[in-house]
Amino acid sequence: MARKNIFGLAEPDPAAAGEIDHTLANARPLAGFEKPLRRASPVGAISQSLGGINEKAQRADDLEKQLAKGLAVVELDPLLIDSSFVVDRLGVSAEDQETLVAQIREHGQQVPILVRPHPERQGRFQVAYGHRRLAAVKKIGGAVKAVVRDLSDEQLVVSQGQENNARTDLTFIERSFFAFRLEARQFNRDVIMSALGVDKAALSRMIALVDRLPGELIEAIGAAPGFGRTRWAEIADLLEENGKRAKAIRLIQESNFQNMTSDERFQAIYDQLRKVKDKARTTIWKTASGGKVVRISETDEKLNLVFDKGIEPAFGSFVEARLNALYEEFVQSKEIAEIGD
C-alpha cells in the first residue's frame, strides 16, 4: 500500500517499482543535499540496484524527517505560500522594498523564510516570517528558500514575533498593534510576551495604548519609525478632547494624506490635533432701537445664542416655539440651493 509523506503526496511502494522519484510538494533540497548514487558494475548488478533503491528511499525519508523538524532548507514555489494569519507590519515603503529586491537579485536570498504546511489548504504553505523576502522573490521570479516546520498557531506567532524582535525590525506602534491583534484573537498574554520579548507590565501598557487609538488611524499613519511610545500617547490624549477624534478621521481621508511618508502622516495628525483653536467669535445682535437682545458666541463645534430677558423677556421663548418652522425653512433653502447647483 502506498504511504504518504508529510506533504500528503503518495509514494510508490519500493517493492513494486524499479526506481522511485520522491517529490516533496514543489519542494526540492538545495544543490549538494543529495549524495550521488554509485554506478552498478556488471557483477552483482541486481543487488546494487536494490541497494540503490533502498538508499534513495532512505534519503527521501531522512529529508522528510528534516523538513518536519525544520532542519533542511528547501526551495518552494512562492505562489504556493500565503501570508501569516495575523499581520505584524503596517506597510513597507516602496523604496525599502526595492532595496531588498536589488540585494536579493545581486547576492541571492541569503536568509530562508519560515513556513508551515497550511492548516486549511492542502498543498499550500503559510509564512511565519519572511514576508518581505517572499514578496521580493515573487518580483524577481524563481523559487524561494524556506524552512518548513509543523507549527501550531501559538508557535507561529512566537516565531514571527521573535524573529522581528531579534532583527529590531518593527517599530513601537507595529509591535503594540501586533500585540493588540493577538489578544483580540484570544492568544493568552504569556504567548504574546514570548512573541514580543516583553514583560507583563510593558505588554499591558502597549495594549492599553492601542486600545485608546482608532485602528483605522493607526493603519492610515503606518509604521511611523521616527516616533515612539511618548508621542503616540500624546496623540491618544489629544483624541480624547471634544471633537478631535472626528477631526483626525477626516484628515486621514483627504486625498493627499497617503502621498506622505509614514512619519509625515504622523506629524500631520499630531500638528492638527495640537493646533490651538481660533478664539471664539462673539457678537451682539441688536434691535432697531439699539437693544442688545441676543449675545452670540461661535466655535468650531458650537453656536450659542443667549437671550437677555431683562430687555425682551419673551423673545427667547418666541424663537424657541418657532424652531420647527425655522428648521423646515432651512431644509427647503438647502434643497433649492442644490437644485441651483
What are the pLDDT digits (tens) for 45-61? 445 545 555 654 565 55
Report the pLDDT value the prediction gives residue 239, as an integer from 0 to 100.
Answer: 93
Residue of 129, 98, 89 lying closest to 224 (CA atoms): 89
Rounded to the nearest 5°, which phi and psi values hold at 74? -125, 170
28-32 LR contacts (CB < 8 Å, sep 24+): 28/74, 28/75, 28/143, 29/63, 29/72, 29/73, 29/74, 30/73, 30/74, 30/75, 30/145
C-alpha cell at 260: 506622505
Query: Which tens digit of pLDDT belongs to each residue from 233-252?
Result: 999 999 998 888 988 999 99
Location of C-alpha cell 508529510: 6
Burial (Cβ within 10 Å: 0-12, 13-18, ≥19) of residue 255 = exposed
Which DSSP helix (H) or strand (E) runs through 338?
helix 323-340
Q: What is the pTM of this model?
A: 0.58
Query: Which tens digit of pLDDT belongs to each residue from 292-335?
Result: 999 998 876 788 999 999 899 999 999 999 999 999 998 888 87
The pLDDT confidence band at residue 341, using thresholds 50, 70 and 90, is: low
C-alpha cell at 271: 500638528
Instruction: Report, as an integer, the average pLDDT of 201-222.
Output: 94
SS3 content of the chain, % helix, strand, coil (to 5): 50, 15, 35
Whether the CA torsion 249, 192, 86, 259 is positive or negative: it is positive
Report the pLDDT value the prediction gives residue 5, as an integer from 0 to 100.
Answer: 39
